[in-house]
Amino acid sequence: MAFRRTKPCPFFWALLSLIIAQFLHAQAFAEGTEVGGFLSSKLVPLFETTNSFQDSLEFRNKLYLKASSQPSEGTKLLLSGRFEYNGFLKGDGEGDYYHLSQVHEAYASLSFQNLDLNLGQKKISWGKADLSIVDNVNPPDLTELYFIEEEFSKVPVPMAQIDYFPGDFKVEGVFLPFFTPARFTITGRNWSLISPQLQDLFAGCGAGEAGEELLGGDYTALGIIEYPKDDIVSSSSFGARVSGGRGGYDFGASYLYGWEPLPTFYFNPDFLRQLRNQRGDLFDKLCSISALDVAAFYPLFQARPRRVNHAGLEFATTVEDVGIRAEVAGTFRRGLFTEDLEVVEKPLLQWTLGADYTFPWDIYANAQFVQMIVLYYPGNLFIIRQVNNSVVGYVRRSFYDDKIHPELRGMYNMTQGDFYVSLQLAYDWTDALKVTAAVNIIGGPWGSSFLGFYSDNSHASLQVKYSF
């Protein structure tokens, strides 16, 4: 992770951001060069803090700058940067403050007669569905789970991309010379892979202070994460996609030889053996092993990204006033946890069907069904069933001269009855200034569903975003 701990200086950061924003406001600083971006500030209070690992209040300040230039016909350069100053306050008032500054996208785009060549760090989109199951080239940013701005939901990746356009079709090839990890934290934040609820469970069920220290602090005290070496031979990915449209129908097919977005955690075999000897469910077993025993198993885990093959098909059309989108995806050799925390490799088959429609009164609705099937199901996978059906969607409309935008968004049953519901109200104060208030409710059965681990993180948010 590129986070660095620093002393809090929100006023300095805000001032600097405003000065830059004002300076760059809607002007080109060189002929043919355009600059834009946004400055946003978001407050996220939890409705309730149930354990000491939760941040009761997050504030996230982001400055996004994007400059693009077209030095000649058919040539385009783009550079964007992301600067963040984030604060996380515990219930007792103790706070952690981080800042981040990094290049977001940086690439050159060259266009020829029927060929485009893109070189550099960028994001691309594959697929037709809103929640695409074939869009796997860029790893996700999971630091805010589902509540991150769309601009930042994917991590840009260094790549060479060639698009060839024979007639109505597009043949696309991508080569990613290096491995780029997803953005996430393992512990310590509300949206970490080990959620505050899980941390609290381990800390409270016998691990004691030692366990709290282990799980609340730096993960390196527990185990090792190994990323692929920065050499092309061992870490590169590649893929291809063919897409096109005929007679009102859009089609696509893709293949990617890449990486799983998150590293797979392989636990110490001795630890797993001891775990198997305990009684109860997984959490009873985990709790029955003392922190000192855990420490004795160092490294408790060795985590590493896994190679994976993705193949996908896409389809979109409109039937009367209904937009239809569908995708099928096969993922080969996906690493999954058993209930004993062992890793098994299974192929996954997913398909999705989505539709959107505008009802009377300009109410726009978008719904999508996703089914994930674990082939050769071993019978004891953690959280994931053999057939997993989920629904995701949103409804929105605009009021008051298109200035007020209420939106209801939700997902149900990603794993075993979990859900989130988001009610959002955005107000366009001006074309440049938008204020958004939201209530996000997260729930699900504890211990048997993914979002169940985050169900204490229901929260409100208030964001002010100034675009320039």
Partner 1 sequence: MWKGLFVLFISFLLLLPGIALGLTGEEIIKKVIDRETSNTTQARIKMTLTDKKGGKRVRDILSYYKKYGKGSKSFIRFLSPPDVKGMGFLHWEQPGKDQQFIYLPELKRVRRVAGGQRKKSFFGSDFTHQDMERREADADNHTLLKEESVDGHETYVVESTPKNLEDSQYSKVVQWIRKDNFIPIKADFYNKDGKLFKKLNVEGLEKNEDGTWTVKTTKMVNLLNEHQTVVELVEHTTNKPISDSIFTERNLAKE
The reply to whether 158 sits near partner 1 by the rule CB under 8 A is no
By beta-carbon proximity to partner 1, the closer residue of 149 and 293 is: 149
107 binds partner 1, rule: CB under 8 A: no
**Is residue 401 a contact residue for partner 1 (CB under 8 A)?**
yes
Instruction: Write the DSSP assignment of 103-172 as a string of letters.
Output: EEEEEEEEEETTEEEEEEEE-----SSSS-SS--SSPBB-TTTT-S-GGGSB--EEEEEEEE--TTEEEE
Q: Among residues 109 and 457, whose Cβ is nearest to partner 1?
A: 109
In the bound state with partner 1, the residue whose beta carbon lies nearer, of 6 and 125, is 125
Q: Is 146 an interacting residue with respect to partner 1 (CB under 8 A)? A: no
Stretch that binds partner 1, among 189-197, 274-282, 376-384, 426-434 (CB under 8 A): 426-434
Among 432, 439, 462, 464, binds partner 1 (CB under 8 A): 432
**What residues does 81 pair with on adjacent strands?**
65, 103
Q: Nearer Cβ to partner 1, position 74 or 217?
A: 74
The reply on whether position 467 binds partner 1 by CB under 8 A is: yes
| Token output for 159 | 């790549």
Binding test (CB under 8 A) with partner 1, winner from 146, 364, 369, 377? 364
Residue 298 DSSP label = S
* Residues in 33-92 that interact with partner 1 by CB under 8 A: 36, 38, 68, 76
Of 173-181, 243-251, 407-415, 443-451, which segment contacts partner 1 by CB under 8 A? Answer: 243-251
Nearest residue (CB) to partner 1, 161 versus 415: 161
Among 124, 155, 291, 392, binds partner 1 (CB under 8 A): 124
Q: Does 123 bind partner 1 (CB under 8 A)?
A: yes
Enumerate long-range contacts of 225-234, CB under 8 Å, 24 or more apart: 225/186, 225/263, 225/302, 225/303, 225/304, 226/263, 226/302, 226/303, 226/304, 227/179, 227/181, 227/263, 227/304, 227/305, 228/179, 228/259, 228/304, 228/305, 230/178, 230/179, 232/177, 232/178
For the chain, the residue count is 468
- Report DSSP letters for 72-92, one per residue: ETTEEEEEEEEEEEEEEE-TT
Out of 248, 279, 376, 379, which residue is the one contacting partner 1 (CB under 8 A)? 248
Query: Can you read off the two tokens belonging to residue 208?
Result: 């004691």
Decide: helix, strand or coil at residue 202: helix
Q: Report how far residue 183's alpha carbon sits from residue 193's, in angstroms, rounded to the nearest whole number.
A: 11
Q: Which residues bind partner 1 (CB under 8 A)?
A: 26, 36, 38, 68, 76, 109, 111, 116, 123-125, 149-151, 163, 165, 170, 245, 248, 250, 316-318, 320-323, 356-359, 362, 364, 398, 401-402, 428, 430-432, 434, 467-468
